[in-house]
Amino acid sequence: MKMQARAYFDEAKWLDQPQYIPTVEEYMSVAVVSSGYVMLVPISFLGMGHIATEDAFKWSLGNPNKIVRASATIARLMDDIVSHKFEQERGGHVASAVECFMKQYGVTEQQAKEELWKKVDDAWKDINEECLRPRPVPEPLLARILNLARVMDVLYKDKDRYTHPDLELKQLVASVLIEPIPS
């Protein structure tokens, strides 16, 4: 929670300077935390019984923790890419990864999005790598982190279904939570 609050404070300072657009690296160092995914990982371990040890919680917040960082990167970048226009039109938001990339590298919005999608792909590769090599935590805990990233893929693959839920998302949720799996 402290990390989350600090990240929100950093974003508030940026918002207070309307002309300020951070570098991509500066933005990502804050935005990966403000996405909430870094905090969601240990929260997702709650109720998992004996496999969620104190060491597992410490590991999840350790730095660097490649799989947690990759999951949070996917969350932040996918959200920024697909909700970019809506968020900026709505106002009251700091620059997204798209604006930061455009300013830092002098590229168009489309070029920035293409490069950021490549970063999403790289983060998926990091998750795969971390799931395939031995880790100091049990596989069910790694699966939680992987599943958090998968949720982002459903919500933000081609449009912002989180802010604007559609029939397709409602059908997906119903298929998981309401409709029984045939035996």
Per-residue burial over 152-171, b if 16 or more Cβ lie within 10 Å, else e, is beebbeeebbbeeeeeeeee
pLDDT of residue 124: 96
Rounded mean pLDDT for each run of 10 residues along the chain, 183 residues in total: 90 88 96 90 92 92 85 93 79 86 97 97 95 88 92 84 80 83 74
Gap between the Cα atoms of 124 and 114, Å rounded: 16
pLDDT of residue 64: 62
What residue ranges define each of the domains in the chain, with the CATH number in brackets?
1-178 (1.10.600.10)
pTM (2 d.p.): 0.86
Gap between the Cα atoms of 133 and 173, Å rounded: 32
Q: Are 51 and 97 in contact (CB under 8 A)?
A: no
